Amino acid sequence: MTRVRALVPVLLLAALTACGPDAPLSPTQNYGTIQGRVYDATSNAGVAGVVVTVDTLDTATTDAQGHYQIPNIPLGEYDLVVGPVTGYTVGAIPDANGSIVAGQTIEIDVPLTKQ
């Protein structure tokens, strides 16, 4: 029992030291997030079921309102691809190529044009 009592302050000190300024970044700080909405450019209605991909690795599918979110994107350059979407043409996507920094959330909305 004495050894356990002696270990408690040591473990507490180690835990507090790990929280100092040199502590490793938390997972949310090591990555970024891209989110947005895919919508019909004419009606502004969200388009459900659209696959949005970042760097051919991370994907999301839009919900009923056309919203998507792709978390845990590695820092640095990224390429965002949407679709293909049956019945629509995906035009130029502003900010589809860029870079993401630690903890950043980038909003990219994607208008679709009916064919």
The ranges assigned to domains in the chain are 25-114
Residue 68 DSSP one-character state: E
Q: Is pLDDT above 50 for 16?
A: no
Q: What is the three-class DSSP state of 64? A: coil
Q: pLDDT tens for residues 38-90?
A: 999 999 999 999 999 998 889 999 999 999 999 999 999 999 999 999 999 99
Domain 25-114 is found in CATH 2.60.40.10: yes
Tokens of residue 95, six digits:
């900010």
pLDDT at 2: 53
